[in-house]
Copies of this chain bind each other. A is one copy, B any other.
């Protein structure tokens, strides 16, 4: 008997529109959905306890020899992203010689912050990893990287006297390219032995994204029922968030990985292998 594909899911606000589409398309009947944070999903797929999962772009690159990517989905932005924010006591150009606190909940964004600080702002900073608590971070450091809910809160209400940088905006202004934060990875051996199941998951996710793009108002209202922000802010966030992975986005991913190598956070840029291509 074929088993249902074991599909990872990121239970953060950024994947809520996709989840909504999956529920409305009854996808949860034909996959075994496992919810976790992206770093843990990466551990699970490398360990073989998941078949398909969204994982941080940088973790994909570190394990690329064991993985292939779904062709039509990623967590990405082309300009602002709102939920990845550098909050600083000084302008970013002045972070040279200062300390930056990086939220320990992030993988890809930690490296993105290091890249932008070193290369866009030509600053040589010291980095410390901390839990995502802005006041505590700014007691220990001059700037703080936040992601997710904490970042959105600061994005929509920048604390007085602080500078805030949307790292999606900064990346795209600097490189002219989109930024890819997470990719949907498939274990290579699973893809080779179950191409039909992988294609079915890929199609189901694409159909869910199509549904979600057509119902962003409903999804924003729904999000506002259960989460701490009003519907119009969700609508703005969901407009910024892209789930695209077409060629320009893949160029953005390659550039990001090359920059990660340049700042010493990745050994080499792997060949990006996409399922079915």
Point out residues on A near B: beta carbons under 8 Å: 1-4, 19-20, 23-24, 26, 28-30, 222, 226-228
Contact = CB atoms under 8 A, between A and B. Distances in A.
Contacts of A29: 19-20, 23, 222
Contacts of A228: 1
Contacts of A227: 1
16 contacts: A1-B226, A1-B227, A1-B228, A2-B226, A3-B226, A4-B226, A19-B29, A20-B29, A23-B23, A23-B26, A23-B28, A23-B29, A24-B26, A28-B28, A29-B222, A30-B226
A69 B26 CA distance: 29
A6 to B, nearest CB: 12
Contacts of A3: 226
Contacts of A24: 26
A26 B22 CA distance: 10
The 6 closest A-B pairs by CB, nearest first: A1-B228, A23-B28, A23-B29, A23-B26, A4-B226, A28-B28
A222 B2 CA distance: 13
Contacts of A26: 23-24
Given A1-B228, A24-B26, 4 more contacts: A1-B226, A1-B227, A4-B226, A19-B29
Nearest to A34: B35
Contacts of A30: 226
A222 B26 CA distance: 12
Nearest to A16: B29
Nearest to A222: B29
A28 B208 CA distance: 15
A102 B3 CA distance: 28
